[in-house]
Structure formats: structure tokens, C-alpha cells
Amino acid sequence: MDNKNVVGIIPARGGSKGVPKKNIREIGGFPMIAYSIIAAKFVENMGRCIISTDSNEIAEVAKSFGGDVPFLRPSELATDSSTDIEYIRHAMEWFNDNEGYIPEYWVILRPTTPLREPEVVQNAITKMIDNPDASSLISIHEFAETPGKMFGMQGEFLHGLCPMDPRPEYFTLPRQEFAPAYFGNGYVDIVKSSTILDKNSCFGDRMLGFEAPDTGEIDVPEDIRRVEYYLSKESNTTYKHLQNL
């Protein structure tokens, strides 16, 4: 396959509330978004990687690390409630209008999962291309606990989250009595233009699971310390490339 049909997209809106200016907060001495930009440069089976942001400040930081920022995303597509399909549709329209084609595979590299390895992203792309009946790919890791043992709450009272489970008080059973559960970790997701255009869906109903390392996702300030601790203990190719700039 022509690599121009495999395009990375780094979504980096400017209005983060949990961690202000999250996408350009420093981790290990470098802005968070720099990790995704540099990792993408070493993914051999991806033709191009662009940044989709509504923020001039983020755009300038991205460009300083060689990021490709061909447009600014409209502010109405960068709110707390904005969805993946909105910014990808916007990028697709830009490609159609300015490049004369729409890439089929969109590799989402969220800045909030900074410690990814280029080789793992390459493997995800290969898996997606090798499974043409898949509508998307989502990176996952096995969750330590199963939803079958978790509770919801209605008023002051608890209820099980799996009401279709016929076993009495199933939530008291050992973890081994439940099937493994997986958590999307933001390491790499891949969506297809055809899924969006033909089905009006971002991920579709045939989502490939791709097991990837749990290297930490940044949602709250405490997560930054956790990721920096991981970085101090584990070797990371992207971090080494940043240090050698």
C-alpha cells in the first residue's frame, strides 16, 4: 500500500481543564506534544503526520519540533464535548480540498499518551492493513479488575453493573470467573475514511483490539508524575530521540 494513504493525526485542542495547557506541559523536559511528533517521524509505514489544533500557541510549539500544522481547527470542533469523528472529518475535508484525495487510514496519536514506541505504532498499522474487514483498531491493555465485580450507585444503594449475568450475587465471585476485560489506553487508534464516510461512524462495529503497553495517560496532574516515574525506570526510544535533537 502507498504510504500516502496512511496519515497520522495528533489531536491537540487548547482548552484542557483537568491539566491546563496539557498538550504543551513538560514531561522529562519536553512539551508533551513533542513526544507524539517525534515518534511519528520514525514510523516507517506512515506517509505523513499532521497536528489538528485550535491553538496558535500549541501550533507554534509543534512547529518548533518539526510538527506539520497545515491548518487550525475551528473552535467549535475543539470543545470539551467534541468527538474524534468531528476533527477527523475536518482533516479529511482539508485533504480533499488541498491535496486532492482523502487518505484511507488515520492513525490517531493522542499527545496524552506520550511514551509510545514507533515500532509498536508500525505493528498496529500493519495489523490494520492486514485485516481489511476491520472498521478500526483500538489499542488496549488488560484491565486489572473486571466490570463484573464493580458497582454502580442509585441514590444511596449499590447495584451490579452486569444485570444480565444470571449468577446469584455474581459480583462476589472470584475475578477468575469472569472473562478478561480490556481498557483503551490511547497508545494508537486507527480509523478508516470509508467507515466515517459510508457508515457515519468513527470506529464502526468491527474494532480490532491491539494490545499495547500501558505507559500512562495524562488526565490529571498526578498522572504527569506517574509518567515521569515510568520514564525514569524504562527506556523509551522517542525520549532518546528528543534528547538528541
Task: Identify which of 195, 11, 2, 7 has the alpha carbon closest to the alpha carbon of residue 106.
Answer: 7
The DSSP 8-state label assigned to residue 46 in this structure reads -
Q: Can you give 149-188 as a three-state secondary structure string?
A: HCEEEECCEEEECCCCCCCCCHHHCCHHHCCCCEEEEEEE
At 153 the pLDDT is: 95
Helix (H, G, I), strand (E, B) or coil at 124: helix
Q: Where are the domains of the chain?
A: 3-142+181-243, 144-179
Helix (H, G, I), strand (E, B) or coil at 204: coil
CATH code given to domain 3-142+181-243: 3.90.550.10
Q: What pTM was computed for the model?
A: 0.93
Helix (H, G, I), strand (E, B) or coil at 126: helix
Only one residue has cell 506534544, namely 33
**Of the given ranges (22-26, 124-128, 142-146), which has the lowest mean pLDDT?**
142-146
Q: pLDDT tens-digit profile of 53-89? A: 999 999 999 999 999 999 999 989 988 888 999 999 9
